[in-house]
Structure 1
Amino acid sequence: MQVVSAAEVAQYLTWQGVIDRLRHTFVNGVESPPRHHHAMYRPDGEATMLLMPAWEAAGYIGVKMVNVFPQNAEHGIPAISGLYLLSEGKHGQPLACIDGSELTRRRTAAASALAAQALANEDAETLLVVGTGKLAPMVIEAHASVRPIKRVLIWGRNPSKATEIAEEYASRFDTQVVEALPAAVAEADIVSCVTLSTQPIIKGEWLTPGTHVDLIGAFRPQMRETDALCLRRSQVFVDTYAGAKGEAGDILQAIDEGEFQFEHIQAELAEVLTGAKPGRSDKDAITLFKSVGASLEDLAAAIELWESLPKHH
């Protein structure tokens, strides 16, 4: 069995490869039971273990194990760590143990890029990234692989982190750290939010015709990045209905406020990709994609990575 490090994931998992693989997997489907969620009581507080299994009907089998330790913040260690175990489908033999954080980071950005490929206007060239965590550079790279991005605006609560990202990508794009969000949202073609916010950061009144809003951050019901007006003004799409129903804070809180209904969601990503349901209605529509992540995406990314790795015999 091969052990695959974070550096190797970054080296061998190309954006084009993983986005194409995700498209294929969303269209063809896999078996993916709901994720298992186990509370673990540790001496210094509660932690959570998540298990996310998925398998192809006659092919690969995979499971992601994720440990969530909020108390790690006090030690300067990331709160979330995990690994992905990929097995072959004929005899169930393990193939690879893959760094979970890097795989997740890249599949998450790739899923948003796949949605943007289907929903954003083809001439989208200004990207606004809201948030400066580990996912921010990923969404820049992923969106730029599917749309002709020329300008990247970066907003963050921590201006020095925003400056760091702007400098890192200054050779590839016209990058700019922004302070005034309303103006930045108004001029962006794609607004990608990657924060851990529990309060709306993006207001619906700021959105302009033709914008595509990409919401990645709020993956628990109590988190949100947008107000209800964002949803009301948009054609709303989700990665999966099941995930959105359980975890999409932006949607669930807007429903609680009486401002949105689950039935208002236009489609899940697979329906748009297969043509079962329409995507963006016209150039001036505002589209919104809310993802919370799905085990299907991890399996797709792990397969793509495995098939791209140089094999050690």
Structure 2
Amino acid sequence: MATIIHKKEIEQLIQNIDVVSAMEEGFIAYNNGNTVVPPVGELIFEEPKGEAHIKYGYIKNDDYYVIKVASGFYDNPKLGISSSQGLMLLFSQKTGQPVAILLDEGFLTDIRTAAAGALAAKYFAPKQISAIGIIGTGIQAKLQLQYLQKYTPCKTVWVWGRTPENAAKFKSDLGTDFDIHIAKTPKEVAAHSNLIVTTTPSEIPLLHAEDILAGTHITAVGSDTSDKQELSSDLLAKADIVIADSIPQSKSRGEIYRAVKDGKLAPEKVIELGKAIQNPSLQRTNEQQISIVDLTGVAVQDMMIAKAMYTNFKN
């Protein structure tokens, strides 16, 4: 009989897990060929607008394999429901028997994505961060800011949202912990920030090459399909360092996909995150470089967090 773990239990147990270290371990295993990660399954919905991603795979010689379904339906907040939904299924890699059903409602996907953003900052953000820029005001925007605190003491934040109301709520929710400034445009965010995280489902570029200060690091989280784009292709062309969480996935989705398709970025310029983590020469070497980490979300992240959650639950 599979163990069922509910969201409330998951929210409590996550406090005991070093998710950023788990993501680092997973990305290294992925880059080193120690995982099996098939292409992403995907369903796109128009009315209402939303999407569901199916990610699955396993780490070689491990105890488990994972199948994860995560969705984003962007009108959900109007109904009083989180835009993120989903669950994770953990199976025995030895027998195929279901081991655990994690009814996380998309929570673990949100957390592992934020942790990957913190990991990107750990290796690519400038040493001196003047301000953190956040593009977007939803769940992921808040989590990215909170998880960045593991690697920077910076409390100055510039945020842009699609509506003034969304930005005001973001500031209200987090303002006691941060010095938050509301920008009128994404460009204004970039003018004041040298560490930027983009977290929207935008299908048109929000940041352009001329907007970005020298020495800025950008973690792009929102573009996880072929249609989404938060960064202009010219911006990726300008970057000194371009990192993909998964080079195979970057050939069909994300910022890198769009820039290569537009003829602005040579594929050979792209470095995989797990490789760069292991080789300091592939990381930032001076404070004037512009770096971009494109996170499309990889199944190995789901494997690591699901396994850690179940192990913690058992203990």
TM-score by length of 1: 0.87
- The separation in 2 between residues aligned to 1:95 and 1:270, in whole angstroms, is 28
State which of 283, 297, 300 in structure 2 corresponds to 1:293: 297
The 5 A counterparts of 1:26-37 are 26-29=27-30, 30-35=34-39, 37=41
Q: Is the 8 A contact 1:271 1:277 kept in 2?
A: no
What CA distance in whole angstroms lies between the structure 2 residues aligned with 1:46 and 1:56?
33
| 1:35 CA displacement | 3.4
CA contact (8 A) 1:202 1:226 kept: yes
User: Who is 1:163 aligned against?
Assistant: 168
1:10 matched to 2:14:
no
Q: CA deviation at 1:305?
A: 1.9
Q: 1:102 to 1:45 in 2, by over 3 A?
A: closer
Q: How does 1:68-217 map to 2 (within 5 A)?
A: 81-98=85-102, 99-217=104-222
Offset of residue 39 of structure 1: 5.7
Distance 1:69 1:145, change over 3 A: closer
Q: How far is the alpha carbon of 1:9 from its aligned partner?
A: 2.8
Instruction: Tell me how far apart the structure 1 counterparts of residues 250 and 15 of structure 2 sit (CA, whole Å).
Output: 27
Task: Please give the alpha-carbon distance, in whole angstroms, between the structure 1 residues aligned to 2:282 and 2:121.
Answer: 14
Determine helix, strand or coil for the equivalent of 2:106: helix
CA distance in 2, matches of 1:66, 1:119: 28
Structure 2 gap segments, 5+ residues each = none
1:236 and 2:239 aligned:
no
Which of these residues, 245, 255, 264, is aligned with residue 259 of structure 1?
Answer: 264
1:191/1:213 contact within 8 Å kept:
yes
Which one of 48, 52, 56 corresponds to residue 55 of structure 2?
52
Q: SS of the counterpart of 2:122? A: helix
Post-superposition offset of 1:112: 1.5
- Which amino acid is 2:223 matched to? A
Q: 1:301 to 1:231 in 2, by over 3 A?
A: same
Answer yes or no: is the 8 Å Cα contact 1:66–1:82 preserved in 2. Answer: yes
Distance 1:192 1:225 in 2: 10
Residues 2, 95 of structure 1: 8 Å contact kept: yes
TM-score by length of 2: 0.86
> How many Å apart are 1:97 and its aligned residue?
1.2
What root-mean-square deviation, in Å, do the aligned CA atoms of Structure 1 and Structure 2 show?
2.9
One-letter amino acid of the structure 2 residue matched with residue 52 of structure 1: K
Of 99-108 and 67-76, the range deviating more from structure 2: 67-76
Unaligned runs of 5+ in 1: none
| Secondary structure at the counterpart of residue 246 of structure 1 | coil
Instruction: Give aligned pairs, total.
Output: 308
Between the aligned residues of both structures, percent identity stands at: 23
Equivalents in 1 of 2:130, 2:98: separation in Å?
Answer: 42
Aligned partners of 1:184, 1:79: CA distance in 2, in Å?
24
1:274-297 C-alpha deviation (Å, 9 max, x unpaired): 218611131110101111101001
Alpha-carbon distance, 1:16 to partner = 6.8
